[in-house]
Amino acid sequence: MLLNSKETIYLDNDIYEVSFTVYDEPDVGLDGLYVDSVRAIKGSQEPSESDINQIYKILAEDYGHEG
């Protein structure tokens, strides 16, 4: 494990607090990135599958092995 962190992600009208872990092995999670939890702060109560995919994409740009 390289990093365990939380970040606030803004998607459209929703705000999520995301806890995630970055691993030094790119085969863990999605390119070494594993989202531990997603908590809605504002907007929808549950993130949709599309929201989760967008969250992974945003985090992978900053924290993924290929990002």
pLDDT one-digit tens code per residue, 10-41: 998 899 999 999 988 777 777 788 899 999 99
Burial of 46 (0-12, 13-18, 19+ CB in 10 A): exposed
* Pairing outcome for strands 33-42 and 14-22: antiparallel
pLDDT at 52 over 60: yes
**pTM for this one?**
0.80
In whole angstroms, give the CA distance from residue 55 to residue 8.
Answer: 10
